[in-house]
Chains A and B, each alone.
Chain A
Amino acid sequence: MGEAQGEISSQVKFSLLLGICLASVLSALAIGGVPLSLIEIVRGEASKLDLTVFSEIRAPRVILAATVGASLAVAGAVLQGFFRNPLADPGLIGVSGGAALGAVAMIVLGSSLALPATFAPYTMPLAAILGSLCVTGALYLFSAYYGQFRIVTVLLVGIAINALSSVGIGIFQYVSNDAQLRSLIFWMMGSFGRAHWVTTVPCVLAMVSAVLVLITKSNSLDKLQLGENEAFHLGVDVKATKRDLVLLSAVCVGAGVAVSGIIGFVGLIVPHVVRFTIGVRHKPLMIGSALTGGSLMVLADLLARIVALPAEVPVGLVTSAIGAPFFLWLITKVKP
């Protein structure tokens, strides 16, 4: 009886989340500098200008925001589970910084690689993924060598890694030309203002597939919570699972950073809210985090677009404004 009730209430919760996600996407599509009527667009009655704004500017931007939000939130949930550390966030522990460094290196040095122009939409995401992979890989080796991290150690290592990647980005800033510099500043702030289909599609596909594969690992991630030995005794191929988690969470963060820069705290807040409302098992946690992260990011971006019309606020500012106080509150709860 209790089991059946639990099933029903979690179905209700997921439907509600899905509803919120759809509502956020639809309102973000309609609201903006140029208000659009979605009904007119569906009926084919919209003006040519409206149609162009919708299909070339608004739609890629909203889809990108939703995917990046979902992807960062799932990466946060996975990293927290992987390190058994409630304070792990891709931004705080340096994974986003590593991705940004990779992307910036590609912006500045990429032109000297003389690659064909058709590769352009792929080289930067790949560089960003490689950058975040270096960080997740290094954190993993650190923890494998020194044993299980204490909660606060991961954050301290994150500070060091973030400082290192700032140094790298600073050096690239120094040697970059004007056009490159404008691109660089965009990384520091985090924004969906540069969403075009050609750059968006490959990254969205990468993030969506990484999230879907991560969800299939949820059972193993649950068992890893008992400890690595215990997970092995329960049938988990620990080495392969850890390798997959490190790789896939790097794809989630790297591909997101490549198209939108560093957007902090989403990966921290969302999994906690979902644990609190839906549960800690990783399957519902990841699905719930994807839906919640997507909604949150779409709404944060909507706010960033309209709060100072005709100007635009970086969306990273909005998420940090919500996330930083939450982080402080979390510290008092976790007591690292």
Chain B
Amino acid sequence: MALQAQNVTINVGTKTIVDSASVTVKSGSITVLVGPNGAGKSTLLGALSGHSTPSGGRVVIAGTDLAQLTPLQLCNQRAVMLQSDNLVFDFTVEDVIRMGLVWQFEASEGEKSEVIKDLASTCGIEDLLSQSILTLSGGEKQRAHFCRCLVQISGSHDRDTSKYLLLDEPTSSQDIANELRVLKLLKETAIQREIGVFLIVHDLNLAAHFGDIFYIMKNGRLVADGDRDAVMTENILSSVYETPVKTELTPSGLRIHTF
């Protein structure tokens, strides 16, 4: 089972933002997309999520073209975390997380509360549930939204449908400890719940450590894809970022530096 972009092209006006990109997000693994600012990474994620319709090519989820699915059908198969902060009214953190309860099967109130409590505590926000989201710090807000997305794909009764989690820089506001917490949680979720994760991230060391499959994007095109040792090389990274990049294989993993 997989979520696949097949030769997806996205034009905005006369400009081509994504040029014939093909990506496969497999269940149970973390697919990482890296690349310089303005490469078209978020636009590609928009196509994978079904939000933007490709000008060319198509996106399929478990064999079905996304264009044929309603928003309701889609939201049961994938959750999407963007970088955004639009709330103006005093919703509590729990109100926001509960918006992820889109499950299509009957679940008791007790069951739902249990899932929310469990996930909130793994995200480190269990003490904030009754607070207004407007009073939270940027990092705490981001984890609340992360938790909402985990709730969305945590319906425990329908394990037959494969689920996907698409994230656009989910750790951009996190301190180093919480950055690690979020990424470890993603790894666990991917493996234990057979979820396909698609992750846009800037930190190449974290990407190399947590990713299973790698894509590199530049100027709307995918310039490399494959496993870590094929993609995260000095040559490719230096040329993509137009900056000298050094890689070093240590006993604890691959280290990537710019100075």
Contact = CB atoms under 8 A, between A and B. Distances in A.
A325 interface: no
A227 B51 CA distance: 13
Interface stretch (A169-177, A229-237, A262-270, A288-296): A229-237
Interface residues of B, number: 29
A55 interface: no
B49 A233 contact: yes
Given A85-B88, A86-B89, A236-B71, A229 B51 contact: yes
B75 A234 contact: yes
Nearest to B75: A235
B165 to A, nearest CB: 11
Nearest to A271: B89
Contacts, number: 71
Contacts of A223: 99
A2 interface: yes
B14 to A, nearest CB: 19
Interface string A210-246: 0000000000001101110110111111100000000
A226 B75 contact: no
A234 B89 contact: no
Contacts of A238: 71
A314 B80 CA distance: 52
Interface stretch (B90-98, B173-181, B205-213): B90-98
Contacts of B96: 226
A91 to B, nearest CB: 21
A227 B91 contact: no
A148 B84 CA distance: 13
Contacts of B88: 84-86, 225
Contact of B51 (A225, A232, A280, A281): A232
Interface string B66-92: 000011101110111010101111110
B113 interface: yes
6 contacts: A85-B88, A226-B96, A227-B82, A234-B102, A237-B71, A280-B91
Interface of A: 2-3, 81, 84-86, 148, 222-223, 225-227, 229-230, 232-238, 275, 280-281
Interface of B: 49-51, 70-72, 74-76, 78-80, 82, 84, 86-91, 95-96, 99-100, 102, 109, 113, 130, 152
